Copies of this chain bind each other. A is one copy, B any other.
Amino acid sequence: MASSLLSRQLAVCLQHNLRMGAPAGCRYVSKTATKTMVEFEYDAPSMKTEVPGPRSKELAKQLGEIQNVGAVHFFCNYEESRGNYLVDADGNRMLDLYTQISSIPIGYNHPSLMKAMANPNNLSTFVNRPALGILPPENFPDKLIESLLSVAPTGMTRVQTMSCGSCSNENAFKAMFIWYKLKERGMRLPSEEESTSCMINQSPGSPNLSILSFMGAFHGRTMGCLATTHSKVIHKLDVPSFDWPVAPFPRLRYPLEEFARENAQEEDRCLEEVEDLIVKWRQKGKPVAGIVIEPIQAEGGDNHASPDFFLKLRSIARKHGCAFHVDEVQTGCGTTGKFWAHEHWGSDDPADVVSFSKKMLTGGYFYRDELQADKPYRIFNTWMGEPSKNVFLSEVLNVIRREKLLEEVTRSGKALLQGLYELQSQHPHLLSRARGQGTFCAIDLRDENTRNDVIQRTRNKGVLLGGCGDRTIRFRPALVFKEYHAHQFLNIFSDVLRDYK
């Protein structure tokens, strides 16, 4: 009964979808073992207006009555979007290399996700959002095992789900503070003074502990996270913060292989500074409980560092009794060609905490056993994530495995980076510092205005890109981005760049 309903539903969904968007310019690809399904994607961008078009502009005016719309690029027709192609409200169809700020794992309207939605067994998971910390659904342990734990980083068997990236990092920070104080306190119970002082935000109950972060980092925008974010003034201005140490992140030369010696020197300089800061903040009475870092700084301008740098940093953390937190919110879920970017370091003990969100669809963090809070309700909130996100994540992971998407990412990433190298050598006054891992690639323009202008012109020719840092374009396609799409992008990008001669 259930399965015949399913195919009826899918048939209707697909008919409905076909009726709406497909007729012109779509190709049919049968790439999976699923028999009942017809998967399709468009074969190229198709532009009808400049972007934003008249319909988007009208909608922005309407939404502007309700909230700040200064950041809105354009309005989307998600129903008609497919795979790597985003369709806007004016009927423009763009190859999407930004994917909702890197948060769409397997493209738009993936049939596996549609199928999960239409499965009657999942209905109640979507409709009844539980307070997971007190009343989890019966299948929750199984769902965690089949989704998150199946991709747990080395050395980690524990995971706490959260609703978004900021909440994940905030709670990971709290877990590190609690762990640090538990170590310090030993078997002693919290003192009366600790208990009363924390209620009015005063030390010793609210201790003067700190998290060390890096210049250029982005870890979110709630107030704990924001104190570790240092990528743009607009994120931080006018918001009170904590006096926490900020270390320099290595400014390397690319391609990394060509500048190995001087890059290593730069990394050593930064590591030395990290140790100095840890000592200095301890002397200041604000000891560093944890170090947080992205494997590749994304929002801050796609800044890379070597595996050696991260492994030494991890050792420094251990030496000084600080927890080591790797923020994989943007780098995680396959985009660098490995499931977690930190796997490129080749360590079997990469971190104490690994946080995630975006492409993982649910937020949360993995952690080593010692990082578990000693008592319930210390890491807690009403929802603590959402089981329906685990349903989708299971499907995403199945697709990644079935379609060997990590290999695909490595392949298409190579084509993308190779193409960027070529364009860079053709336009040396315009482009520089092409770099990347998997499809997590980037290139710098000569200045901010040119970068913004190039992004807009490329968009008007049917490719959606995003910026980061001062003058960088970051490439963040979905995991279903293939060599074919890389070449499609490179051709269009090449045309755009020619105009800057």
Which A positions have Cβ atoms within 8 angstroms of B? 1-2, 5, 8-9, 12-13, 15-16, 55, 59, 62-63, 65-79, 81, 86, 89, 100-101, 103-104, 108-110, 113-114, 117-118, 120, 123-131, 133-138, 140-141, 144-145, 149, 157-160, 163-167, 170-171, 173-174, 177-178, 180-182, 190, 194-195, 198-202, 205-210, 215, 220-225, 227, 230, 232-244, 246, 357-358, 361, 372-373, 375-383, 392
Measured CB to CB, the closest approach of chain B to A37, in angstroms, equals: 14
* B-chain residues with CB within 8 Å of residue A392 when the two chains form the complex: 127
Measured CB to CB, the closest approach of chain B to A162, in angstroms, equals: 9
Measured CB to CB, the closest approach of chain B to A459, in angstroms, equals: 12
Measured CB to CB, the closest approach of chain B to A448, in angstroms, equals: 14
* B-chain residues with CB within 8 Å of residue A167 when the two chains form the complex: 163-164, 166-167, 222
Report Cα–Cα, A212/B140, bound state, in Å.
39
Report Cα–Cα, A224/B221, bound state, in Å.
10
* B-chain residues with CB within 8 Å of residue A15 when the two chains form the complex: 1
Measured CB to CB, the closest approach of chain B to A248, in angstroms, equals: 11
Report Cα–Cα, A170/B224, bound state, in Å.
10
* B-chain residues with CB within 8 Å of residue A378 when the two chains form the complex: 234-235, 237
11 A-B residue pairs with Cβ-Cβ distance under 8 Å, sorted by A, are A63-B140, A63-B144, A76-B130, A77-B138, A101-B134, A108-B128, A166-B381, A174-B221, A178-B238, A198-B237, A234-B377
* B-chain residues with CB within 8 Å of residue A358 when the two chains form the complex: 382
Q: Is the CB of A134 within 8 A of B73?
A: yes
* B-chain residues with CB within 8 Å of residue A129 when the two chains form the complex: 100, 103-104, 361
Report Cα–Cα, A114/B220, bound state, in Å.
34
Report Cα–Cα, A71/B209, bound state, in Å.
27
Measured CB to CB, the closest approach of chain B to A457, in angstroms, equals: 18
- Assuming A77-B138, A166-B170, what are 12 further A-B pairs, CB within 8 angstroms? A8-B8, A66-B141, A70-B375, A71-B133, A76-B130, A117-B126, A163-B163, A178-B239, A190-B233, A194-B237, A223-B227, A358-B382
